[in-house]
Amino acid sequence: MGTVRKKLVIGNWKMNGSLEKTKLLVEGLCAELQGLDLAGFGVCPPFPYLAQAASLIGEGALALGAQNLSAEPQGAYTGEVSAAMLKDVGCSFVLVGHSERRSLYGETDEIVVAKLKAALGQGLQPVLCVGETLAERESGQAELVVGTQLGAAVHGLGVESMSRLVVAYEPVWAIGTGKTATPEEAQAMHAYIRNCLQNCGVDAASVSILYGGSVNAANADGLFAQKDIDGALVGGASLEVSGFLMICKAAVRS
Ligand code: PEP
């Protein structure tokens, strides 16, 4: 019997929200997601709202994650937040290497690997984000780019640790643009990612590979029907309870 990977839907709020919005979203989602245990769900509020979200979630069916972390454990790193702090306020996972971190804040594969290590060292599950730009796709480099990003993680962490990661394939040209990869395009890259992992000796069947890039209620079913798409990392559509819920429910029925 093959490995059954439970679908996972994660909301990345990016730099959006307030105390009031956190309460609205978290309470609304927890109320509606209770008992829907055929899939897993998570949210990544901005740092200042993590502790508030943790206390609102309580025993609810939402995992709490952060959008970023420092590679350093503690000390004189003004403005940074460590893996231990995230754990302390109730996070169970953290996004690492989101394309906005890579493109706007200069995160290289080397930095990404250091952050993955820091997260794993504190027992936080990293969601490693990979993906190519439009120019890279149009010049036929998409697989090379994604393969290099993945290879850096395998090389830096070792094969054993890779099975503790979730991978999110997020083509940069689809993030926040309203352009989604077609289910077939996304499936092709997900299969490629799973193959790369398998070829490196990772137990690839046990690794969840999420798709991210303008996922919404209208396109979620088509994406989730693909055999190597194990859920979604959702930006814009995670900022309203009703829109995010529709994606969660698509994951449950897929
Ligand atoms: C993201 O930020 O990870 C993302 C996928 O954003 P959006 O859904 O808005 O494209």
**What spacing in Å lies between the alpha carbon of 118 and ligand 1's midpoint?**
24
Say if residue 3's pLDDT is above 80.
no
Catalogue the active-site residues. 98, 170
Output the ligand 1 site: residues, CB below 6 A: 12, 170, 175-176, 212-215, 233-237
pLDDT band at 1 (very low <50, low <70, confident <90, very high): very low
**What spacing in Å lies between the alpha carbon of 81 and ligand 1's midpoint?**
22
pLDDT of residue 179: 84
Say if residue 253's pLDDT is above 70.
yes
Higher pLDDT, 110 or 5: 110
Which of 170, 179, 239 has most ligand 1 atoms within 8 Å of CB, for mutation? 170
Number of helices and strands (H, E) in the chain?
Answer: 11, 8
Torsion of CA 231, 180, 165, 159, to 10 degrees: 120
Q: Name which residue sits closest to atom 3 of ligand 1, judged by CA.
A: 235
pTM of the model: 0.96
pLDDT of residue 2: 54
Atom of ligand 1 nearest to the CA of 129: 3
pLDDT of residue 173: 93
pLDDT of residue 156: 97
Tens-digit pLDDT profile for residues 164-209: 999 999 999 998 888 888 999 999 999 999 999 999 999 999 999 9
pLDDT of residue 178: 83
Q: What is the mean pLDDT of residues 18-44?
A: 96
Q: Name which residue sits closest to atom 1 of ligand 1, judged by CA.
A: 235
Which of 9, 12, 239 has most ligand 1 atoms within 8 Å of CB, for mutation? 12
Tens-digit pLDDT profile for residues 57-96: 999 899 999 999 999 999 999 999 999 999 999 999 999 9
Atom of ligand 1 nearest to the CA of 14: 2
For residue 220, CA distances in Å to 7, 41, 182 come to 12, 14, 11
CB burial readout 112-150, b (16+ within 10 A) else e: bbbbbbbbbebebbbbbbbbbbeebbeeeebbebbbebb
Q: Mean pLDDT in the chain?
A: 96
Tell me which of 34-38, 145-149, 183-187 is least confident: 34-38
Which residues have a Cβ under 8 Å from the Cβ of 10 and sit 6 or more positions away?
41, 42, 43, 44, 65, 93, 95, 127, 168, 210, 231, 232, 233, 234, 238
